């Protein structure tokens, strides 16, 4: 891997990047993204006291026009001027307090070469991602489209950033969901916790702005996943290639792949795994991760499937897996389970070779 970030590809990626956000220029960095705290009271509305000046001024003009007393004519404008000065001074102080409070809130700071986490209240910033080296971003969504999580990956690790959709209209977020891979049965994984053991959440609009900023830094980052398996081998997904340790799989050439589940004893407990078997030109690997349970992948109410969009239905199809015998350990590469579906989605877009019959399926107890 080169020590510097790779040059962006000129070709259009499989997911053309279009979020409908304002383009971020290099001069805009660093960017600050204030973290949303669901337990924090909503901000107070700005004071309307300065608006009282308008009727006061109108009343003063009427009085000046009708009252003949020179004392009243002289003192009334002076009193209004003093009141206006007091109101504007109060408003300036409120703005200063708000700015100071905002500066003390938790936030993500995106610079051109790094992503920083600021825990707030004057605490030191933490480096969570070195962006001077190649990095990737992967957007995931629940099938209900109520939560999002953005995973930033690089050789140094992964950092998760969540978002709650809340009352934001789905149609407004359609460009964002276009880039999201659906993950079902993993609600707990969407509870993103930061280095300070508090939620790391943005609003959906700010998450889209953050993705746009990442895209400015490296237009190829959206098609890239960079992780290290439990054995220290690199697993790197680019737009045109999947590299697993020393093996490379061309995503523009025919290949074979299938989803599988298997179980193995771990001490006195049977552990469930999900896997993605891949073969091309004699190279063969199995990406695996723990499976939380063997229950239904998705439980929906009657008629709910009809309301799911095509992307969700496609991803639910990719989740279907057959039970098989445990694959050879030499072929296994364990990765974070949330990244299994984005990798399958890329494999699904690759040309397929004629399918080989899977090995006999053992019963799962």
Residue with tokens 């030499």: 330
Alpha carbon distance 214, 111 (integer Å): 10
3-class secondary-structure state, position 272: strand
Q: What are the tokens at 224?
A: 């890239």
Pick the more confident residue, 353 or 242: 242
Alpha carbon distance 78, 75 (integer Å): 5
Taking a C-beta distance cutoff of 8 angstroms, is the pair 237, 221 a contact?
no
Can you give the pLDDT at residue 339? 95
Kindly report the average pLDDT of the chain as a whole number.
81
Can you give the pLDDT at residue 13? 41
Beta strand 135-141 pairing with 180-182: parallel
**pLDDT over 90 at 348, yes or no:** yes
Q: What is the pLDDT of residues 148-198, one digit of tens each?
A: 999 999 998 999 999 999 888 878 888 888 899 988 877 788 899 999 999
Can you give the pLDDT at residue 187? 77
User: DSSP string spanning 100-143?
Assistant: HHHHTS-EEEE-SSEEEEE-STTPPPEEEEETTS-EEEEEEE-T
Can you give the pLDDT at residue 127? 96
Beta strands in 172-268 (DSSP E): 180-182, 201-202, 225-228, 234-237, 241-244, 247-250, 256-266
Task: Name which of 328, 336, 316, 305 is nearest 259 in CA terms.
Answer: 316
Give the pLDDT band (50/70/90) at residue 279.
very high
Triad 255, 256, 257: Cα angle to 5°:
125
Give, for 72, the enclosing helix (H) or strand (E).
Answer: helix 70-103
Q: What is the pLDDT of residues 280-310, one digit of tens each?
A: 999 999 999 998 765 555 555 545 554 557 7
Quick one: DSSP state of residue 146?
A: S
**pLDDT over 50 at 277, yes or no:** yes
- Above pLDDT 70, what percent of the chain? 69
Q: What is the pLDDT of residues 97-142, one digit of tens each?
A: 665 666 678 999 999 999 999 998 878 999 999 999 999 999 999 8
Taking each helix axis as running N to C, give the angle between helix 310-319 and helix 340-349, from 0 to 180 degrees, rounded to the nearest 10: 100
Give the pLDDT band (50/70/90) at residue 11.
very low
Can you give the pLDDT at residue 31? 95
Q: What is the pLDDT of residues 40-91, one digit of tens each?
A: 655 555 555 555 556 665 665 566 556 666 776 666 666 667 766 766 776 6
Alpha carbon distance 46, 80 (integer Å): 22
Alpha carbon distance 178, 275 (integer Å): 25
């Amino acid at each position: 891997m080169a020590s510097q970030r790779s040059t962006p590809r000129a070709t259009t990626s499989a997911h053309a990047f279009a979020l409908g956000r304002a383009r971020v220029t290099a001069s805009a960095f660093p960017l600050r993204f204030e973290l949303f705290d669901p337990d924090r009271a909503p901000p107070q509305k700005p004071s309307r006291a300065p608006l009282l000046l308008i009727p006061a001024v109108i009343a003063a003009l009427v009085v000046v026009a009708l009252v003949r007393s020179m004392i009243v004519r002289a003192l009334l404008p002076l009193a209004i001027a003093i009141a206006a000065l007091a109101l504007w001074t109060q408003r300036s102080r409120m703005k200063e307090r708000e700015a100071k409070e905002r500066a003390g809130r938790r936030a993500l700071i995106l610079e051109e070469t790094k992503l920083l986490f600021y825990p707030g209240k004057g605490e030191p910033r933490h480096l969570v991602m070195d962006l001077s080296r190649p990095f990737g971003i992967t957007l995931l969504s629940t099938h209900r489209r109520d939560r999002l999580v953005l995973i930033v990956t690089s050789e140094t690790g992964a950092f998760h950033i969540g978002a709650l959709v809340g009352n934001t209209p789905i149609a407004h977020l359609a460009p964002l969901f276009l880039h999201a891979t659906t993950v079902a049965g993993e609600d707990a994984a969407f509870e993103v916790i930061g280095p300070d053991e508090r939620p790391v959440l943005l609003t959906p609009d700010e998450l889209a702005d953050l993705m746009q900023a990442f895209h400015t830094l490296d237009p190829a980052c959206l098609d890239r996943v960079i992780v290290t398996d439990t054995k220290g081998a690199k697993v790197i997904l680019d737009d045109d290639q999947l590299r697993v340790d020393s093996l490379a799989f061309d995503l523009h050439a025919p290949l074979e792949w299938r989803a599988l589940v298997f179980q193995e004893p771990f001490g006195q407990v049977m552990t469930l795994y999900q896997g993605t078997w891949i073969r091309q030109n004699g190279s063969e690997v199995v990406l695996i991760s723990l499976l939380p349970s063997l229950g239904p992948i998705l439980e929906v109410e009657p008629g709910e499937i009809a309301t799911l969009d095509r992307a969700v239905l496609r991803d639910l199809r990719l989740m279907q897996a057959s039970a098989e015998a445990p694959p050879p350990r030499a072929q296994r590469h364990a990765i974070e389970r949330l990244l299994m579906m984005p990798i399958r989605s890329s494999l699904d877009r690759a040309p397929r070779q004629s399918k080989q019959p899977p090995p006999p399926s053992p019963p799962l107890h």
